[in-house]
Copies of this chain bind each other. A is one copy, B any other.
Amino acid sequence: MAQKVTIATVARQAGVSRQTVSNVIHTPEIVREETRERVRAAITALGYRASQAARQMRTGRSQLIAVRIEPTRDGINGSVLDRFLHGLTEAAGEAGYRVMLYTATDAANEIATYDDLLGAYDLDAFVLTGTDHGDVRTAWLAERKVPFVTFGRSWDAPERYPWVDVDGAAGTAAATAHLVTQGHQRIAFIGWPAGSGVGDNRRAGWASAVSATGVDPAELNRETPDGITQGEEVARQLLELKLPPTALVCASDSLALGALQAVRDRGAAVAVTGFDDTPVAQAIGLTSVSQPLAQAAASCVDLLAAVLDGGGVDGAGDPGGGPAQVLLTPSLVVRQSG
């Protein structure tokens, strides 16, 4: 391994002091052009890179963002986190940050990890995914003024902290509207049990779109836990009605995959739409609502950067006057199934 190149090496090579090198890096405009160029040449020639550890000691900033990686739950939808993570890493990199991973078994454990991460690595911020009602994690972080963003809006206190989310209602509404355009009039919804913010939101989009056609949605509304077999079962029941629906809007690709199975088994010409546009949907030709995950990740980084680089290190500060919440609109990807 070649000897470590420090700012002193560069200074010697360029025939200036260390401070001048530092100035060239941080405030180039105060350095005479000729000197500046000489220093820059030395930097590239030596392949110099500032030591993040040393810099952190001085500035107290680690340029590190932490995000939790969950044990894979439903694998179909699990790919969503995967894609989000990729987008986050990319966006963070462009903003000069790196992403660090952590795991946690429960909320208490996760908070202990925050403490650890903050104490040892001096993390700049956290990105939380999937917050629920009365989340203790956000409370803990907010209390200590640790900057954070959540991917998934805050359902209890909409304006309390910065979040990025995808407008699920707009997604299911778009799917429903598309089906209406196709001539469908009896459009059912297969979603999760009432009570989850995300699930209720997706259901609401369908309900409003159906209501807009003058039909009462209540009759064709169904609830079930997520899963392929669950979707198949519920779809089967719907198809056995005396007046069965001609289209099924589902809250997830898992449910839709099951529903599609039921439809095919029955040989019925019933349209099906899913949610998340997972690779499975792409592969089997399932019409699905696509979340702009890369964009969501980029927005998370933007929000964080605004707080970190702008309005001080207290998560409470207004991020540079811009909105602290971002709601993105998903798009409908139409395929054979609908």
Chain A residues within 8 Å of B, Cβ to Cβ:
1, 5, 47-54, 56-57, 62, 64, 69-72, 74-76, 78-79, 81-83, 85-86, 89-90, 93, 98-103, 115-116, 119-122, 144-145, 227-229, 254, 257, 278-280, 282-284
A72 touches B79 (CB 8 A): yes
Question: Do B279 and A53 touch across chains, with their CB atoms under 8 A apart?
Answer: no
Contacts of A83 in B (CB 8 A): 71-72
B279 engages A78 (CB within 8 Å): yes
Query: Would A103 and B98 count as touching, CB distance under 8 A?
Result: no
- Asked if B279 and A76 sit within 8 Å, CB to CB, the answer is yes
Residues A116 and B86 in contact, CB atoms below 8 Å apart:
no
Enumerate the 3 nearest inter-chain pairs by beta-carbon distance, A residue then B residue, closest first: A75-B279, A49-B119, A228-B283
- Are B47 and A119 closer than 8 Å at their CB atoms? yes
Q: Name the residue on B nearest A146 (C-beta).
A: B1
A12 CB to nearest B CB, Å: 18
Q: Write out the residue numbers on chain B whose beta carbons fall within 8 Å of the beta carbon of A56.
A: 53
- Tell me the smallest distance from the CB of A174 to a CB of chain B, in Å: 22
> A52 touches which one: B54, B69, B103, B120 (CB < 8 A)?
B120
A81 nearest in chain B by CB position: B82
Q: In the complex the two chains form, is A53's CB within 8 Å of B49's CB?
A: no
Interface residue SS majority, chain A: helix
A296 to chain B, nearest CB (A): 15
Q: How far is the CB of A274 from chain B (nearest CB, A)?
A: 13
Contact A100:B103 (CB < 8 A) given known A78-B82, A82-B81: no
Q: Once the chains bind, are A228 and B284 in contact (CB under 8 Å)?
A: yes
Q: List 14 A-B contacts (CB under 8 A).
A: A49-B119, A53-B54, A64-B100, A69-B89, A71-B86, A72-B79, A72-B83, A74-B279, A75-B278, A82-B82, A85-B101, A98-B102, A100-B101, A228-B283
Chain B residue numbers with a CB within 8 Å of A227 are 283
Q: Whole-angstrom distance between the alpha carbons of A257 and B76 in the complex?
A: 13
**Contact (Cβ within 8 A) A69 B49:** no
With A79-B79, A283-B228 already in contact, the answer to whether A86 and B98 are too (CB < 8 A) is no
Task: Write out the residue numbers on chain B whose beta carbons fall within 8 Å of the beta carbon of A101.
Answer: 85, 89, 98-101
CB < 8 Å neighbour of A76 from B53, B70, B254, B280: B280
Once the chains are docked, how many angstroms separate the CA of A268 from the CA of B290?
A: 35
A53-B56, A98-B100, A228-B283 are known; give 20 further A-B pairs, CB within 8 A.
A1-B144, A47-B119, A49-B115, A49-B119, A49-B120, A52-B120, A52-B121, A53-B54, A54-B57, A71-B86, A72-B83, A72-B279, A75-B278, A75-B282, A78-B279, A81-B82, A90-B103, A99-B100, A101-B101, A228-B284
Chain B nearest CB, measured from A235 CB (Å): 15
Q: Are A62 and B70 in contact (CB under 8 A)?
A: no
Residues of chain B within 8 A (CB-CB) of A93 are 102-103
